[in-house]
């Protein structure tokens, strides 16, 4: 220890950190900020190298289609798989995992742009629409009376604006949008999407939180117990709790289950550093480094901390008006497929542990991998020694499992299922975003265009091994599958780095099965206009 009580080890570590920082062109003050933020210095070094070097694009081999990586079931099959799940779930802990930390900013983006660029004193709304060639605003204006929150806002307008009913249609529409987004009134764009009014029922208006509670009770429950986990921004948790406290008893009564709700936050240590367009660290006006959230891939750590046998994953905005039994059928069927596969996988691994496996069984396992898990062993596998064959099969089988619902592609933006070149290991099934592909390559662009299905973030996962031990999910991440994104910070262009996506690179080395599910399971609300679609409107 020195006179300040600092150990020699701590002092040595501090000196090493300072050397690393200076080699990156950073200062001692930067080191203090990095340490305060909890970000690893090695992570900073890696991120800066990625900005300079770029990220290698994924090499697509083929689009996954029905019969070529995507399993298609009949209605009878779905019922049978769901029944299998119901019969085998009693000893399992089921949990539903809902990423819900984002604000609803994008949902109202076109309306925010309207308020920023429109002057009610100088032009009509129709003139604005023509000037901006805005196709979304007319849809909103025609359907706004069908929105679940129309009456609450309209009532507030009449309270706040004298003779509101006598105003022209343009003024009414303008003030409606203004009150909906104004921080002094409803401030919808700044609120978490989960607490917004989504659905209008005869006696109440429901939020996505309530709808997820109902779904949880219908398909993620065993012996009268359900577990629901939200990832939220810490500042939003109280708002989530308030809604849950208001609706939980009604949900539990209808679903005949008790629901335990838990929360977690995106760890600040997973934030990533921003750079300018020349790949130099970006600094704010006060000279500080700028850190940004690492994207939903950071949530692999949140998922890793959960203890459950089966985990259902679904986005916060993908809910519909109560149609719980239909939705439950398909979710339970995916879980049934997972349980059947898991039983076979565990049987294979236990057989290897008993050393009673023979050549015939090795061939059966090879066939099981190819036909059920879409995994082929290397071409020279048959030349391996008996012990190495077992070693290779064990390495393939002893992994987390995910069964992913896929819907027919109807032009939605986002990821899809593809066969991807997997380094020296052949081909693997992956969920791929367009930003991960070199679309200037005509062959790659053609494969991307041939996609028949879309990933609706409808996953059922098993994160424990055959010895009932939790996998360390960080061990199965493809660290090279992150994203470089271009963003704007206070009017300045910057670059950010997003970690491998939760259902993309973060799960790249899981055992993966894709199953076609009906479109009714996919009804996200990406813009406020989506609330006007049939799935979100009462009859």
pLDDT tens-digit map of 378-413 = 889 999 999 999 999 999 999 999 999 999 987 766
Pairing of strands 310-314, 94-99: parallel
Whole-angstrom Cα distance, residue 173 to residue 356?
75
Instruction: Give a yes or no: residue 2 inside a domain.
Output: no
What is the rounded average pLDDT of the residues 87-94? 96
- Report the C-alpha gap between 539 and 534 in whole angstroms: 9
Assign 12 a pLDDT band (cuts: 50, 70, 90).
Answer: very low
Mean pLDDT value of segment 26-47: 90
- Asked whether residue 351 carries a pLDDT value surpassing 80, the answer given is yes
Residue 150 lies in a domain: yes
pLDDT in tens, 134-153: 999 999 999 999 999 999 99
Torsion angle of alpha carbons 281, 285, 286, 292, nearest 10°?
-50
**Taking Cα atoms as reference points, which of 103, 98, 109 lies closest to residue 528?**
109
Domain boundary among 16, 31, 53: 53
Q: Quick check: is 513 in a domain?
A: no
One domain for residues 110 and 48 = no
Q: Does residue 539 form part of some domain?
A: no
**pLDDT surpasses 70 at 1:** no
The pLDDT, as a whole number, for residue 410 is: 79
pLDDT band at 103 (very low <50, low <70, confident <90, very high): confident
Mean pLDDT for 197-211 is: 94
Same domain, 110 and 184: yes
Q: DSSP assignment of 18-68, as one string?
A: HHHHHHTT--HHHHHHHHHHT--HHHHHHHHHHHHH--PPB-EEEE-EETB
pLDDT at residue 465, as a whole number: 98
Q: 6: pLDDT confidence band, cut at 50, 70 and 90? A: very low
Last residue within a domain, chosen from 190, 207, 232: 190
113 and 47 in a single domain? The answer is: no
What share of the chain has pLDDT > 70, as a percent?
96
**Domain that residue 119 falls in:** 106-190
Q: What whole-number distance in Å separates Cα of residue 474 and Cα of residue 499? A: 12
pLDDT above 90: residue 2: no
Q: What is the mean pLDDT of residues 68-85?
A: 97
Q: Are residues 186 and 112 in the same domain?
A: yes
49 and 110, same domain (yes or no): no
Please write the tens of the pLDDT for every residue from 42-59: 999 999 999 999 888 999
Evaluate whether residue 433 is within a structural domain.
Answer: no
Q: Which of 144, 169, 190 delimits the end of a domain?
A: 190
Is the dihedral angle over the CA atoms 37, 41, 46, 49 positive or is it negative?
A: positive
- Does residue 13 lie within any of the structural domains? yes
Contact by Cβ (8 Å): 255, 363:
no
Tokens found for residue 518 = 């009906």
Q: Looking at residue 321, what is its pLDDT?
A: 84
The number of CA neighbours under 13 Å toward the Cβ of 321 is: 17
Count of CB atoms situated within 10 Å of the CB of 13:
11
> Are 92 and 222 within 8 A, CB to CB?
yes
Residue 476 placed within a domain:
no
Residue 298 has pLDDT above 60, yes or no: yes
Question: Would you say residue 263 lies in a domain?
Answer: no
- Residue 178, pLDDT > 60, answer yes
pLDDT at 22: 79
Cβ neighbours of residue 419 closer than 8 Å, sequence gap 6 or more: 60, 61, 62, 63, 64, 68, 69, 427, 428, 429, 430
Predicted confidence (pLDDT) at residue 452 exceeds the cutoff of 90: yes
Structural domains of the chain, count? 2
Do both 46 and 112 map to the same domain?
no
Q: How sure is the predictor about 539, in pLDDT bands with cuts at 50, 70 and 90?
A: low
Return the percentage of the chain with pLDDT > 90, whole number: 78
Whole-angstrom distance between the N-terminal and C-terminal Cα of the chain?
74
CA distance 430 to 274: 28
* Lowest mean pLDDT segment, chosen from 278-282, 350-354, 408-412, 440-444: 408-412
Q: Residue 7's pLDDT is what?
A: 43
pLDDT in tens, 206-258: 999 999 999 999 999 999 999 999 999 999 999 999 999 999 999 999 889 99
> Cβ atoms within 10 A of the Cβ of 53, count?
9
Domain match, 48 and 124 both: no
């Amino acid at each position: 220890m020195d006179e300040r009580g600092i150990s020699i080890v701590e002092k040595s570590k501090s000196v090493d950190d300072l050397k690393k920082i200076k080699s990156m062109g950073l200062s001692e003050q930067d080191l203090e900020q990095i340490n305060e933020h909890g970000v690893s210095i090695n992570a900073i070094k890696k991120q800066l190298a990625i900005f300079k070097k770029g990220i290698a694009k994924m090499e697509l081999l083929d689009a996954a289609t029905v019969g070529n990586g995507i399993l298609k079931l009949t209605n009878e099959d779905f019922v049978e798989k769901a029944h299998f799940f119901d019969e085998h779930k009693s000893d399992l802990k089921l949990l539903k995992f809902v990423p819900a930390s984002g604000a609803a900013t994008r949902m109202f983006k076109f309306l925010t742009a309207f308020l920023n660029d429109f002057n009610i004193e100088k032009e009509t709304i129709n003139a604005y629409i023509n000037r901006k060639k805005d196709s979304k605003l007319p849809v909103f204006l025609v359907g706004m009376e069908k929105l679940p929150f129309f009456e609450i806002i309209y009532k507030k307008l009449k309270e706040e604006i004298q003779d509101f009913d006598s105003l022209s249609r343009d003024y009414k529409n303008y003030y409606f949008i203004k009150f909906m987004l104004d921080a002094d009134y409803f401030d919808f764009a700044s609120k978490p999407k989960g607490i917004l009014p989504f659905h209008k029922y005869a006696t109440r208006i429901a939020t996505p939180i309530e709808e997820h509670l109902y779904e949880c009770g219908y398909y993620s429950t065993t012996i009268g117990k359900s577990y629901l986990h939200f990832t939220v921004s810490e500042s939003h948790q109280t708002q989530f709790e308030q809604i849950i406290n208001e609706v939980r008893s009604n949900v539990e009564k209808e679903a005949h289950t008790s629901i335990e709700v838990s929360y977690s936050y995106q760890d600040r240590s997973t934030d990533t550093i921003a750079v300018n367009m020349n790949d130099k660290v970006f600094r704010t006006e006060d000279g500080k480094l700028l850190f940004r959230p690492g994207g939903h891939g950071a949530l692999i750590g949140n998922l890793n901390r959960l203890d459950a046998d089966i985990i259902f994953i679904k986005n916060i905005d993908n809910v519909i008006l109560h149609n719980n039994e239909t939705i439950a059928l398909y979710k339970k069927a995916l879980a049934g497929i997972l349980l059947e596969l898991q039983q076979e996988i565990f049987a294979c691994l236990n057989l290897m542990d008993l050393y009673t496996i023979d050549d015939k069984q090795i061939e059966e396992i090879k066939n099981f991998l190819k036909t059920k898990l879409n995994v082929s062993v290397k071409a020279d596998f048959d030349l391996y020694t008996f012990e190495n064959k077992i070693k290779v099969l064990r390495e393939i089988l002893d992994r987390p499992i995910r069964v992913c619902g896929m819907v027919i592609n109807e032009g939605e933006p986002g990821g899809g299922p593809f066969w991807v070149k997997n380094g020296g290991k052949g081909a693997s099934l992956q969920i791929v975003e367009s930003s991960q592909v070199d679309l200037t390559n005509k062959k790659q662009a053609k494969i991307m265009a041939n996609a028949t299905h879309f990933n609706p973030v409808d996953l059922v996962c098993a994160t424990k091994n055959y010895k009932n031990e939790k996998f360390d999910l960080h061990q199965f991440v493809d660290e090279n599958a992150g994203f470089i994104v271009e963003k704007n910070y206070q009017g300045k262009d910057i670059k950010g780095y997003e970690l491998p996506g939760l259902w993309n690179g973060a799960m790249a080395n899981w055992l993966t099965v894709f199953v076609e599910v009906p479109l009714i399971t996919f009804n996200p609300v990406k813009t406020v206009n989506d609330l006007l679609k049939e799935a979100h409107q009462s009859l």
